Amino acid sequence: MAEPNVLLVRIDNRLIHGQVATQWNAELGANLVIVANDEVAANAMRQSLMKMAAPRGARTRFLTIADTAAAVAAATERQRIFIVVETPADALALVRAGVPVSRVNVGNMHMTGDKRQVTPSVAVGEEDVAAFRELRAAGVELEVRRVPGADAEDAEKLLA
């Protein structure tokens, strides 16, 4: 059996919004978009707001991390999967659950609490840095890029 076709995992604390629906999904050509987050999977209000911005031509599902791992494991070759997570911890949980993740795109991580700004659109805290280090140690490529046409920023900023 072929390995599941996970095109990209994107960290974006806004999850599905205009950039994800129009630019990222158009670039990737996904036919399945999974929002993988335990809290969102149980929050009908957040789901309904994201459904309004969901990309046309792709099925959108809101799953827990565990259910995402099961769905990816059961995916057919025809499924071109784009996974959107809220945090680096979610991305790491996918890897730990056995989802074949080769690349994580870091899009938007807002400034809150004790985080520090490392790029105009990304702020990290110690927990984020630890998750990024573990992702890198697992062989996952990290890229910082808000939109597909932009140049990638230095991912080492995520680890400092």
Domain harbouring 57, CATH code: 3.40.35.10
What is the domain range of residue 20? 5-151
Residue 119 lies in a domain: yes
Q: Which pLDDT score is estimated for 159? A: 86
User: Is 17 noted as a catalytic residue in this protein?
Assistant: yes
pLDDT greater at residue 96 or residue 54: 96
Residue 156 lies in a domain: no
Q: What is the mean pLDDT of residues 64-91?
A: 96
Q: What is the pLDDT of residues 122-139, one digit of tens each?
A: 999 999 999 999 999 999
User: What's the domain count of the chain?
Assistant: 1
85: confidence class by pLDDT, cuts 50, 70, 90: very high
Residue 47 lies in a domain: yes
Residue 114: half-sphere exposure toward Cβ, Cα within 13 Å: 5
In 1-37, which positions are buried (b, 16+ CB within 10 angstroms) versus exposed (e)? Answer: eeebbbbbbbbbebbbbebbbebbbeebebbbbbbbb
The type of residue at 73 is A
Query: Which among 13, 14, 17, 89 is annotated as catalytic?
Result: 17
